[in-house]
């Protein structure tokens, strides 16, 4: 896989986001997609060594389409400007907490993970688990590897307190979350470096304990 080629194609697409240009550059698109699929496959194999839930996934199970859904958008650009993959038990449409990889030029590449906007039933389960086991969850968030790559838990929150929890709950800062996500942005230079795959895997391994906590709650 050639990450420089992926960035180059996406940079060209950003300047020529039309179906006509894509048709004329179909071979370039197919090669960039192949390179991203190759990277995703290698990352899946690496993750499977420490997270057995990922075993058996293929890149095609995880990759998102480049085409945008423009039906309800003022922006009618037909294509996304990134390649993304959700490496999650059950594939990209799964509700489980997992790992997300994105490449986009201009310093917009990142590794992320966790649980984005879980359905109400699963959100209730996660909040209940946090309420019962907040000390254990905070210990995971305070781990050196987690703080090194992600700093803190991110994700949209309610402004006051969720239904069923009092504002003075000692763990209200965690219970307010509607999403439980982790982000680590990287530069184009890092994407093109020989250590890029190792960086991805290290970041994902650092987030695994949080994913385990969230998935245990939803089970």
Token pair of 47 as six digits: 């993750």
Rounded distance between C-alpha atoms, residue 204 and residue 152, angstroms? 15
Token pair of 51 as six digits: 């997270």
Lowest mean pLDDT among 61-65, 69-73, 131-135, 165-169: 69-73
Tell me the torsion sign for CA atoms 16, 22, 24, 27. positive
Mean pLDDT, all residues of the chain: 95
pTM (2 decimals)? 0.94
Give CA torsion, residues 46, 52, 53, 58, to 10 deg. Answer: 40
Rounded distance between C-alpha atoms, residue 6 and residue 102, angstroms? 11
Q: Is the pLDDT of residue 198 over 90?
A: yes
pLDDT tens column, 3-32: 999 999 999 999 999 999 999 999 999 999
Q: Is the pLDDT of residue 165 over 90?
A: yes
For 185, list phi and psi in degrees, rounded to 5: -80, 150
Give CA torsion, residues 175, 179, 180, 183, to 10 deg. Answer: -140
Lowest mean pLDDT among 125-129, 143-147, 164-168, 187-191: 164-168
Conformation bin of residue 83: beta by default, left when phi > 0, alpha when psi is -120 to 50: beta
Tell me the torsion sign for CA atoms 154, 135, 159, 217. positive
pLDDT tens column, 55-113: 999 999 999 999 988 777 777 899 999 999 999 999 999 999 999 999 999 999 999 99
Rounded distance between C-alpha atoms, residue 170 and residue 157, angstroms? 16
- Report DSSP state, residue 143: -
């Amino acid at each position: 896989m050639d990450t420089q080629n992926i960035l180059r194609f996406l940079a060209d697409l950003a300047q020529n986001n039309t179906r006509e240009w894509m048709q004329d550059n179909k071979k370039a698109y197919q090669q960039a997609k192949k390179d991203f699929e190759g990277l995703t496959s290698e990352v899946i194999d690496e993750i499977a060594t420490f997270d057995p839930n990922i075993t058996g996934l293929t890149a095609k199970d995880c990759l998102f389409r480049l085409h945008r859904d423009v039906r309800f958008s003022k922006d009618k650009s037909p294509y996304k400007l990134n390649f993304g993959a959700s490496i999650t038990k059950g594939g990209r449409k799964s509700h489980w907490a997992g790992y997300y990889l994105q490449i986009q030029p201009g310093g917009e590449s990142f590794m992320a993970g966790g649980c984005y906007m879980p359905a109400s039933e699963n959100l209730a389960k996660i909040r209940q688990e946090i309420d019962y086991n907040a000390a254990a969850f905070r210990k995971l968030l305070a781990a050196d590897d987690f703080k090194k790559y992600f700093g803190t838990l991110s994700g949209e929150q309610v402004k006051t307190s969720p239904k069923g929890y009092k504002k003075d709950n000692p763990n209200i800062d965690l219970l307010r979350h509607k999403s439980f996500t982790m982000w680590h942005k990287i530069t184009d230079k890092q994407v093109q470096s020989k250590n890029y795959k190792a960086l991805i895997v290290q970041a994902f391994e650092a987030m695994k304990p949080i994913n385990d906590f969230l998935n245990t709650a939803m089970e």
